[in-house]
Structure 1
């Protein structure tokens, strides 16, 4: 079982952001907790269950054992991880899931 972080390429509010996904929601939430992220930061989205990470948090996640994936280099692996993240969506309206 693994936690993955993609490239920090999304520019928002003057910062670059990455996505953190995992093989299981348990692993995903455990890593977020290790990173000091509050439960409200969880993105329970139809597009895939994930957390958004700043470049700094991405580096810390990698230091803690997350696996770096590149949307440019590891396309098939990224697609498989995104499919898995989509399957973890609760089915509730975005933002309505309580942890």
Structure 2
């Protein structure tokens, strides 16, 4: 059982990012990412995205560094790979499961309960929004292109908070991306 990383080369948020995978289980991957101090939000279905400054902590965690092609080969052999073509379906399934767990009757485009994982980026569409809350009563982070998107995010948060409080006694923690029908 080994956790592997490639060389960061994908730019985002002003830095370069690489991928972290396991050759056997997501549990092993989550444990290694936690030991290395990676944020749980950097999980993406079958891998963690890691920023270049985290390299030393990954080395200290015992991560093995390999080239991009080797990383892909290992991930495919592990059986954990979510193919690019299958990612929308995997996200939709996850969103439906998380919506059902909350009692949400309408499934948003992308929904995550809890801190592990991230939803798709905010689409360039009027009325769309991306909402993140990392603490039950903490302030939300709302991304939207317009007032309609900000209003929709606030309405969604109010609804999610009510459902979460009814089930857990605490406000919503998670991430959601939604918008008007396309």
Query: Which category of TM-score, normalised to the shorter sequence, fits these structures?
Result: 0.7 to 0.9
Corresponding position: 1:79 with 2:72 = yes
Higher relative contact order (CA 8 A, sep 6+): 1
C-alpha distance in 2 between matches for 1:52 and 1:96 = 19
Structure (1/2) with the larger helix percentage: 2
Q: TM-score, normalised by structure 2?
A: 0.43
Give the 5 Å matches for 1:1-99. Answer: 1-23=1-23, 24-44=25-45, 49-71=46-68, 75=69, 77-83=70-76, 84=78, 85-86=80-81, 91-93=90-92, 96=111, 98=113
C-alpha distance in 2 between matches for 1:79 and 1:37 = 21
- Bigger Cα Rg: 2
Structure 1 runs of 4+ off > 3 angstroms?
94-99
Structure 2 alignment gaps of length 5 or more: 95-109, 117-182
Aligned-CA RMSD value: 2.5
Q: TM-score, normalised by structure 1?
A: 0.72
Q: Secondary structure at the match of 1:37?
A: coil
- Count of equivalent residues: 90
Tell me if the contact between 1:35 and 1:61 (Cα under 8 Å) persists in the aligned partners. yes
Shift of 1:11: 1.3
Q: Any idea what the Cα deviations from partners look like across 1:57-99, whole Å, max 9, x if unmatched?
A: 133112220000112xxx3x32322313415x8x343664556
